[in-house]
Structure 1
Amino acid sequence: MKKAPKVQHTWPPVNQCENWHKLCCVFLVLAGFADAFGFIRSKGEIVTVSWVNEKEQEDMKENVTAGEIDTLLDDADDNIEILSLDCFDTLIWRNVNRPIDIFHDLDITDCTMELRVLAEKRARKALVLDKAKNEVTIHEIYEKMFREADQARVANCVEKELLAETRHCFAFAPVSMLIDRAKSRGLKVIIVSDTYLPETLLRRLITDAAGPEIADKIDRIFCSCDYGMSKAGGLFKPVLADLGVSPGKILHLGDNKKADFDAPMKLGINGVHFEQFDDEASERLRLEAVAATILDKDTRKIAPSLQPHRAQISLRSKDEATFQFGHDVLGPILHGFSRWIAEEFEKIEIGIGKKPKLLFLLRDGYLPAKAFLEVYPEYADHVAMVELSRFTSSAASFVDRKAIETFLMAEATGNKKDAYSQQRQAAYCRQLLFSKDEIPRIAGMKTPTAFIREVLKTKNVKKIVTRSKKFRAGLIAHLKSNGVEQGETVVFVDLGYNGSVQNVIEPVLRAEMDLDISGRYLLLRELMITDLDKKGLIDVRHYDNSALNALCESIAVLEQLCTQSNGSVLGYSVAGEPERDTADIKGKQSDERDNAQVACLTYIKQLSRGWATTPKSWDGDCARHMAAASLSRLLFLPVEREIGIFENFHHDVNLGTKDMLKFIDADTAQQGMRRRGVFYTKNISRIYLPGELKQQGMQALLPLFAGNRFALDLRQNDFQSGGIKIPVMLADDKEHLQIEVDAHPTSDGYYQALIPAGTGQFNIAIMLGQICDWLQIEEVNFHDIDNFMAKKIDDDAITAHPVYEAMTENAPGLHRCTRQDAFMFVPPPAIATSETLMLNFVFRPTVLSKAAKTATRKVA
């Protein structure tokens, strides 16, 4: 920080005339010493001139982070007599993303956040009529809220806003401790704040939010609205005049660089800029507020962007990408989940009159269990981590033919006849406990129907039931070895999201162990009415089904971050010991996951360290909002460095197979956007599509988020605009005709043209020379019209074999049209079909022809 100048003289004496002061100032400016002196004019009462020590300028910091505030006075000059503090976002923080979010919580009839903002704008606009001030008061704001309002109504509204502020405000611990240190050193403490709250109301708010102990240590409060000027607009001048001290005796700390550093430094006051957040944390918090606004269906009763984790994120010291992610994202999600689990534990205990057993289901329940025990170690005797998965619970559930049929109807239905279907048949065989030698015979069926009939043959049903009984005995032994007793009340705790384990294993465990089972999940979106005791921190009680469905799309991201490195459990020994597959996820992914988990637990261990006082709005509902906003932001609006973490991640599908799916395939996503445009995202199934689309920017991410969250009925033509006309010749053995086809922009400057191809009988000539001198060709393939947009990229493509006339390929895919009559000829597909086809032609016109440019100008 630039050191304010040490006082060498007080010049002139207090009783000396103001003209002498003016003369000295003029002399100093003319002599070129203006930058080397600090001085203040205060109506002839006192003028101070201070010499700048350039070496001492380098001794103190210009900027501090939250973790450096506690040593701020250690670096300060011994000459400092007054600690000056900004109020909001320095001493007093709000439990929301933006100050205006408080206005969602105003208990004022017919008043919305938008109306409150507009009232303030009108009040500030009226300042043009008063040249003596550039700040408004809260009373002036509410006078502009209504067409006609008496002072009693205005006073009532002011009171309601103070109550809303009090509900969400808290004291930031590092600054509270700084005040204590300042007082112990004999310093005065003042507040200098840009605020529409006058001094009496701001002191009341500080007392309510920070407590009387802190408020009583504040000697003076200076509010911009009381002086009609902001800090950047001159407030520090009357502050100095009222205090009657040299600027160099004051150390001021605040979060606004212009108001809290630049403005005081111009007057010789020691200014320090408090940097609340690094750039990535700021971006995440802002996007969490965006995600919360989109996710929540009711934003009137409570601000959608409650962020009780802001203070703790500000105090994070490590900037390494994975640690930052684990701390700032996983930490708040699992903190909110842990609090809710503790609340649910207490409710169940009250209901049954005894403590239940919390069973965290591994593998995904690993980190939630660690986080919960870190927050609530007193529950340790009632917590167990058990190896129950969709695979093991299903394997133990085949008690009869009906149970097998239920599994097959849910998992193995469909009409696909490709190799992937047979691959899945093999996975289902492993789930049904067939041996390696038996699988090839059963999984070789040509259709799902034939596969199901083969499985349900009497000899196969007997094998499955017998093997499932043995498997079930091992699972029960495993539960007993983890302290689960006969007739006990247990709570399955997992990330969710359908409660599949509970669905299949609950009737089995009720029959075998007389267990009373409840399920508590981070995210719960049931696909049928099960009538089981299930709840989610995020479930249908708070969010509609479209929101829950949207969150489930990429939940595998969170699953892989919460798991442990052990391989999938394929069975249990007689004693209940898990028998595992080898862990296939190793190397960098395992290291990144472990580092993120350490960071998450670091957040959990340091809960509330940023709070000197607890905001009144911190409750279970606030914790849910925090977790849901952080989760939805991660799943739909990732930041750049998160993509770097996940780009080498793979997802273990955990069906008793070694199937691994890559999290992010940016090249495929880019190809999909070029070939299909934004509509590509509607019907595509990916592990983490938002991560793949990050490179496309918010213009791709936001439609994906909003479309999924609200289940919007968007069609392909909704995304088609700004097209260009392409002349096309169609010919078969009977006739030929010329048509114009619209090509619509997709992404990265590419265009898509869908050209009718009949049942494959047409020869197609695309007259490219009439529109382009140069172009890049991305795709030329035939597709079945009915299935085109419901398929993955090139899933049903029939290869086209184009021939180029008067066109040269100067680089792979880059063509030059050497004449205006140049064209691309596409003969009918070699494969006969009865389906109606179209030719999908995707290209980028890098240089338009003269005729096309003229046509474009005419259209414009």
Structure 2
Amino acid sequence: MNTISGPEFNRYDAAIKYFEDMPVDALRNAKVISFDFFDTLFTRPLADPEDAFDILGKQLAIDNFRKKRQLAQIEAFRHMSASGKKEINIEGIYAAFADNSRTAEEMANAEYQLELKLVEPNTIIFDLFRSLKDAGKTVVVTSDMYLPARFFEQALEKFGVTGVAVFSSSDENATKRDSGEIFDVIAQKLQVAPGDILHLGDNEISDVIRPREKGVKAYLYRSHYLGTICQGLPLSLSIAQGMLKSHDDYHDLQAFKSLGFAYGGAASLGFLKWIKNQTVLHQIDHVLFLSRDGYVMQKMVERGDVGDFPRSTYFYGSRIALTLATINDQNFVHYIPFLLSGAEGLQPCEILERIGVAAPAPEVMASFGLSAETPLTAGLFSKMANFLYAWRWQILLVCRRNRRGLFMYLQQLGIKSGERIALVDVGWSGTTQEAFVHAVKQFMDIDIHGYYFCLANTAEKNRRKAFLQMHAMYSTENADNSIIDMIYENRVAVELFFSAPHDSIIGYEAFTGKPVGDRGRGLKNDLTHSISDICAGAMLFVKSYNELCKRLSLELTPHELTMSMLSLVSNKKWQDYSAITNISNFDAWGSSRLKSLCAKDYLNS
């Protein structure tokens, strides 16, 4: 049986739509259906196939392997032409490899085995391929590749397919790309006319123009994951975008879950692995992952994504909550600038709302020359400062409540005097760590280390370094100033990937230690759903990445993993993603019911 009735083809509609202008009759009428292998029938979990050379270089411990491998292939083509052949093979490539630290046979076998571990079915096309075979159609694999036919047979066998003829250019000494001669070979060996062959592939020249010149019916495969294919990416980002191919509904890089997968997952995992190394160095007893920065990392720890890890907690704390817990009647005046920070454009009542303090009657505000609803300008700041001082006893009630609540919260977490505590914060100048130190020292003596993704080159950071224990994955102590400045200038984009789907924390209930949140006051609020998607994407990346690393015996360093995030912020690349630039009211502290701020607005201000 080698034909299928029309109605049975309905289940192929999802796959067929990706072949440009192909009618369903083409499948029905063809005696032989030929599938291109790479990027059609199978994929690699890489944005650029040649990124496999970087993985191979790590496995073989050969410096500059990628460049040497590329030059070897060029030399192999030169030898091919000189000998009158039409295709190279993997043995010829490594015979020309300019490095004798490993034998040519050892390197060729290493690449062969790596490719075999890398390849995985392009599900939607592979299902079509297998269904056609099961229905009795003659399906074959045709590939322009320096790998032999046995490689493709083994790849198919891994996924339960046997008995398929493979036409590899390296075995047949005939290619698709040059003249389409390999289609003559197929017709001859299978004893069919060229017009009875249907070929499907992703390269317009090799898979459409050349076969049609031979009389073969051919259609171009327009991949559903084209947006993930890219050259010149850091290896961590190439792996992330490559793995997106295997996850349905994750192919659109403008979607939050895809962005979380591509950027947030690797950055969080790299940072977390760096933290793990630091905890050993500093003999940390308890890691506190600050909300909202550490949400995903604590989830990864709980799932066992980085193996053994010290005792850790997702800590509902923030610069606001901890600073308020520090304020008392003696230091209140010192903290008025903090209470007014980011206040321009906010209503006076919102200044109080964002710290959990009820606004007074309108006539009280009016007595200070203020309207509860009129936005603040720089000219009104002195009046607002006078009001805050006059209203300090109401504010101090909230501060006292926070202080008591923080004590209860730390007691519930089992934190004891004498312990070494790591406070994890994405960045940037140590404000929250200083607030934590000042708040906690009132009732507990603990050794506090601050762990940061990046410490900025700011005067405040330099001041705090004199009396706080601050350690950063990226700082001027271990990276160029230009890198630190680049990260800091694009910090809003970075913070988006180190966030959590809950309100900002502004304090604690006095007797339960339960955190108190602030939803913000923007005209729009789409944050929770968006952040949930980013977090889900990040968690899926780490699960997929760990499975891939086990399969490949690969491990990227913490800094290699975070290169995906550095790629996003370089040259403000994040601005290419409207999902990021248009997200509103990212910062509850600076939000107002009078306006809706997007991520790009924070950096333009």
TM-score under structure 2 normalisation? 0.67
Q: Secondary structure at the match of 1:514?
A: coil
Displacement of 1:564 in angstroms is: 3.3
Counterpart of 1:199 in structure 2: which amino acid? P
Instruction: Identify the match of residue 617 of structure 1 among 549, 554, 558.
Output: 554
Per-residue deviation at 1:619? 3.2
Instruction: Report the 3-state secondary structure (helix = DSSP H, G, I; strand = E; otherwise coil) of the residue aligned with 1:477.
Output: helix
1:312 — aligned with what?
A: 243
Contact map agreement 2:326 2:399 (CA 8 A) in 1: yes
Of the three residues 521, 525, 532, the one matched with 1:584 is 521
Aligned to 1:556: 492
Aligned to 2:203: 256
The one-letter code matched in structure 2 to 1:330 is G
The 8 Å contact of residues 308 and 626 in structure 1, kept in 2 or not, is answered as no
Q: 1:231 aligns with which of 161, 176, 193?
A: 176
Whether 1:389 aligns to 2:318 is: yes
Q: Is the CA contact 2:409–2:514 (under 8 Å) kept in the aligned structure 1?
A: yes
Q: Deviations over 1:436-484 (max 9, x none)?
A: 7799979999999999x999x9x99999999856542222223334555
Contact 2:275 2:451 in 1 (8 A): no
CA shift digits 1:704-740 (9 cap, x unpaired): xxxxxxxxxxxxxxxxxxxxxxxxxxxxxxxxxxxxx
- List per-residue Cα deviations over 1:376-406 (Å, max 9, x = no partner): 599999554333111122222347978976x
Question: Is the Cα–Cα contact under 8 Å of residues 82 and 188 in structure 1 kept in the other structure?
Answer: yes
Q: Which amino acid aligns with 1:86?
A: F
CA distance in 1, matches of 2:408, 2:527: 30
Q: Does 1:632 align with 2:569?
A: yes
Change (3 A) 1:480 1:379: farther
Structure 1 residue identity aligned to 2:314 = M
One of 303, 328, 332 as aligned partner of 2:258: 328
1:240 pairs, out of 175, 181, 186, with: 186
Structure that is richer in helix per residue = 2
Structure 1, unaligned runs of 5 or more: 1-5, 8-51, 69-74, 147-151, 293-303, 414-418, 666-685, 690-791, 793-860
Count of equivalent residues: 577
- The aligned amino acid for 1:624 is L
Distance of 2:474 and 2:223 partners within structure 1: 30
Deviation at residue 584 of structure 1 after TM alignment: 1.8
**Cα distance 1:550–1:661, how it changes in 2: closer, same or farther (>3 A)?**
farther
Q: Which amino acid aligns with 2:321?
A: T
1:199 aligns with 2:134: no
> 1:237 is aligned with what amino acid?
F
Per the alignment, residue 483 of structure 2 pairs with 547
The more displaced of 499-508 and 606-615 is: 606-615
Q: Aligned residue for 1:652?
A: 587
Partner of 2:180, secondary structure, is: helix
**Is 2:505–2:517's contact at 8 Å kept on the other side of the alignment?**
yes
Question: Counterpart of 2:289?
Answer: 360
Matched, 1:171 2:121: no
Q: Contact (CA 8 Å) 1:105, 1:164: kept in 2 or not?
A: yes
**Residue 37 (structure 2) pairs with residue 86 (structure 1):** yes
Provide closer, same or farther for how the CA distance between residues 92 and 591 of structure 1 changes in structure 2, counting only shifts above 3 A. Answer: closer
The letter of the residue matching 2:443 is E
CA distance in 1, matches of 2:199, 2:395: 75
The structure with the largest alpha-carbon Rg is 1
Deviates more, 1:111-120 or 1:76-85: 76-85
SS in structure 2 of the partner of residue 504 of structure 1: helix
Q: Structure 1 residues 143 and 349 mapped into 2: Cα distance closer, same or farther (>3 Å)?
A: closer
- Please tell me the residue identity of whatever aligns with 1:332: A
Tell me which residue corresponds to 2:408. 477
Q: Distance in 2 between matches of 1:657 and 1:477?
A: 32
CA contact 2:180–2:206 (8 Å) conserved in 1: no
User: What is the 5 A alignment of 1:29-68?
Assistant: 64=15
Percent identity between the two aligned chains: 16
Q: Is the 8 A contact 1:87 1:191 kept in 2?
A: no
Aligned partners of 2:144 and 2:168 also within 8 Å? yes
What CA distance in whole angstroms lies between the structure 2 residues aligned with 1:625 and 1:230? 40
Offset of residue 519 of structure 1: 3.8
The 3-state SS of whatever aligns with 2:513 is: coil
Q: 1:26-61 CA distances to partner (integer Å, 9 max, x unpaired)?
A: xxxxxxxxxxxxxxxxxxxxxxxxxx9996997785
Deviations 1:185-219 (A, max 9, x none): 69999754323x3539x84x997xx7995799687
**Structure 1 residue aligned with 2:437:** 506
**TM score, norm. by length of structure 1:** 0.51
Q: Tell me the secondary structure at the aligned position of residue 308 of structure 1.
A: helix
- The one of the two structures with greater contact order (alpha-carbon pairs below 8 A, sep at least 6) is 2
SS of 1:231 mapped into structure 2: coil
Report the counterpart of residue 578 of structure 2 in structure 1.
643
Q: 1:607 to 1:246 in 2, by over 3 A?
A: same
Alignment match, 1:838? none
Task: Check whether the contact 1:520–1:536 (CA below 8 A) recurs between aligned residues.
Answer: yes
1:607 partner SS: helix
How far the C-alpha of 1:411 sits from its partner, in A, is 10
| Residues 564-585 of structure 1, C-alpha deviations (whole Å, 9 max, x = no match) | 3535525543332334445324
Flag the structure with higher strand content. 1
- How far apart, CA to CA, are the structure 2 residues paired with 1:320 and 1:183? 26
Q: Is the 8 A contact 2:266 2:538 kept in 1?
A: no
Residues 363 and 649 of structure 1: is their aligned pair in 2 closer, same or farther, counting only changes over 3 Å? same
Which AA in structure 2 matches 1:628? Answer: M
Show the 5 A alignment for 1:138-149: none
Q: How does 1:331-350 map to 2 (within 5 A)?
A: 331-340=261-270, 343=273, 347=277
In 1, Cα distance between equivalents of 2:562 and 2:519: 38
In 2, the alpha carbon distance for the partners of 1:123 and 1:515 equals 64
1:492 aligns with 2:407: no
- Aligned residue for 1:573? 510
State whether residues 408 and 513 of structure 2, in contact with CA within 8 Å, keep that contact through their aligned partners in structure 1: yes
Partner of 2:50: 99
Residue aligned with 1:650, SS: coil
Compared CA separation, residues 412 and 221, structure 1 to 2 (3 A): same
Question: C-alpha deviations, 1:539-570, integer Å up to 9, x for none?
Answer: 56774332122122233245457343535525
Summarize the Cα distance change of 1:478–1:659 in structure 2 as closer, same or farther, 3 Å threshold. Answer: farther
Cα distance in 2 for residues equivalent to 1:471 and 1:335 = 33
Distance 1:433 1:612, change over 3 A: closer
- Give 1:505 deviation, angstroms: 1.0
Alignment of 1:70-85 (within 5 A): none
